[in-house]
Amino acid sequence: MTTTTRRALIGGAGLAAVVAVTPAIAVVSTPAASSAKWDRLARAFLEADAHMKTVEDEHTAAYDRFAVALKVLGSRPTKPEQRDSCVYPKPIEQMTIAEIKATPVQESPEYAAFKIADANWQAERDALETKVTGGVDTRWEDSVSAQNSAALALFAEPSPNADALRFKLDVAEVAYKGCDLADNVSAAIFADVRRLLNKEA
């Protein structure tokens, strides 16, 4: 099962624009006790992350059921090779180049029939998807957006100590494995590192 990448975190593109090839991984570490605000943000992220994983499991199960149901619907109609046709008013060898060019191009009867059959198949497919999966796709995307928002809030908050920074790194490494962090997120992490190193110096 694939999952939508956290585009709000890694670059701000549309939520459903890109699909990753690995499943989402819930963060398992606990937040470092440090400051009231930090602890609140860390807990909020863990709750959002856990909720996202729960909805993702529901999403996977729903679309597994849909894949089985889709087999009953049958294959999508096959597009014919010939899409267009011309009906010439007289034998083409008796026509001038200008007359040939002026003859309107029409859809072939085979392609016109295909369009109707394909539209009917797509409508049946969409109705079947709604019936089998309900609103799980929307709820899943909403849960990913909520996790993104919680992560962004966490990254934006300066890490008060090394344990808090370690938790941030865990979020970046585990929950967002394979993603390129946005510049503002990377800058926040580097700012934490510099600040904490200066405290120790």
pLDDT of residue 177: 77
Taking only the tens place, the pLDDT of each residue in 106-149 is: 778 888 899 999 999 999 999 999 999 998 999 999 999 999 99
Taking only the tens place, the pLDDT of each residue in 29-85 is: 555 556 888 889 999 999 999 999 999 999 999 999 999 999 998 899 998 877 766
Taking only the tens place, the pLDDT of each residue in 70-93 is: 999 889 999 887 776 667 777 878
- Structural contact between residues 9 and 148, judged by C-beta atoms closer than 8 angstroms: yes
- How far is the C-alpha of 196 from the C-alpha of 157, rounded, in Å? 14
Helices of type H across 134-174:
136-156, 162-170
- How far is the C-alpha of 149 from the C-alpha of 193, rounded, in Å? 22
- How far is the C-alpha of 64 from the C-alpha of 48, rounded, in Å? 24
pLDDT of residue 30: 57
Which tokens in the block code for residue 150? 């919680």
- How far is the C-alpha of 169 from the C-alpha of 27, rounded, in Å? 11
- Structural contact between residues 185 and 155, judged by C-beta atoms closer than 8 angstroms: yes
